[in-house]
Chain A
């Protein structure tokens, strides 16, 4: 038996129907519409398409199989796995829970016929048709009793109503625990700190200069399509700039400046002849620096043409001169030697006739 069959079969077959809850067939027929009607066929087709496209992969619900919340957890109304969804689907429906809590609905509050399509809003089988056909859930503010009188479990209904609210109405999702008359009853979870508490704690962190201040903002930035608490917990945008200082903080800042001024007066205020001389000497030099106009520059004028610069003209360097002198000396010396030898030979030839 697949999950579709488990949902559509009569609840009393499983034996887990809560006492006093209406019969499953009537509930499902009322929810999906009569099987032979157009609306009933369309709702059933959408539901079947949802389960056909559901492959049990963890990415379908963004939750691993092991992270499925326990069945008795008040947060477990959102399915982490197909198994959890099937188990819950076979249990009492939203209308059963609502009837137990609020009593039987008045005729004007009867759930619309296509209610289960909204039950799967945001789930893997969510289709445009189911979105467009899904009627709006009743406003919990209209149906819920005084929050102080809410029994445990109203939280689940409120969240479901919030998840089924139209996305074009962000005000529905801008509710934060701080705006509620009192925190929701969640005994297993610590109470969400209010915006004021969060600011106070962040101020403590900011005392070290490392903390990030959050600005109190009743409008959350959470993704309204996120299931569960994710859309409600992000009630502050950490990227918001620092809020302006409060009056008390301004008073503290002035107090801080006053104390710093007192310290400066005691230790960093020198007067007398020496101080005046130093001020005079420094002032004479400083006023010149301040008066000197900063270079304004001139607009750059480019000369047309891109002729390369001619090669540099080198003069006679020392090395070349030394080499030239050396060569000249050698040549001169050889010339002198040759000339002397020639002269000697000539003398001998001239003397020869007399010998």
Chain B
């Protein structure tokens, strides 16, 4: 069976990023967990990559990344618990092409930081509905690409 992102997974992520609590929870509960272990996690990782690329690829300094993570963690107590600042900064720098070690970051810390960074970038960019759809289309394309390459290996 070919691995690919489903429409339900994409709708779930869209509900998450647009802050629709009930819709998100309902959609997430209805997800096929088996398929979501690949597709939805791929969406989160690809969304993080695209979000960081949009946010920082035009030019950045370390202070920008530190400042961004600081703002992210200051959003709420839950955000401060979810985001390990060192891990988040390493992940962002790694995504921007820097040779920093991210292999030793555990899965929970990495996925939590990726999810939070993705949500924060979308929030700061102030994307409209159409812009969010366009962004998610790119994310889905990248996630499908990743899943396809994973399946080839």
Please report which residues of chain A, range 261-299, place their CB below 8 angstroms from some CB of chain B when the two chains form the complex: 261, 263-265, 267-292
Mask: chain B, 126-153; 1 = CB below 8 Å from A; 0 = not: 0000000000000000100110011000
Nearest-neighbour CB distance to chain A for B69, whole angstroms, equals 15
Instruction: List chain B positions with a Cβ less than 8 A from chain A.
Output: 15-21, 24-25, 28, 33, 36-38, 40-42, 44-46, 48-49, 53, 57, 59, 75-76, 78-79, 82, 91, 94-97, 102-103, 107-108, 110-112, 114-116, 119, 123, 142, 145-146, 149-150
**Is A260 an interface position by the 8 A CB rule?**
yes
Q: Is the CB of A289 within 8 A of B16?
A: no
> When A268-B45, A271-B41, A282-B82 are in contact, do A260 and B95 touch as well, CB less than 8 Å?
yes
Contact partners of A291 in chain B: CB under 8 A: 19-21
Q: Is the CB of B38 within 8 A of A271?
A: yes
Interface size on A, residues (CB 8 A): 35
Interface of chain A, main secondary structure = helix
**Is A259 an interface position by the 8 A CB rule?**
yes
Q: Is the CB of B111 within 8 A of A270?
A: yes
Number of A-B residue pairs having CB atoms within 8 Å of each other in the complex: 123
Contact partners of B114 in chain A: CB under 8 A: 268
Q: Is the CB of B108 within 8 A of A278?
A: yes
Interface of chain B, main secondary structure = helix
Contact partners of B44 in chain A: CB under 8 A: 275, 279
A267–B59 Cα distance when bound, in Å, is 23
**Is A197 an interface position by the 8 A CB rule?**
no
Q: Is the CB of B49 within 8 A of A279?
A: no
Q: Which residue of A lies closest to B99 (CB)?
A: A263
- Given contact pairs A274-B108, A284-B25, a sample of 6 additional A-B residue pairs in the complex whose CB atoms are under 8 Å apart: A259-B97, A271-B41, A275-B44, A275-B107, A275-B111, A290-B19
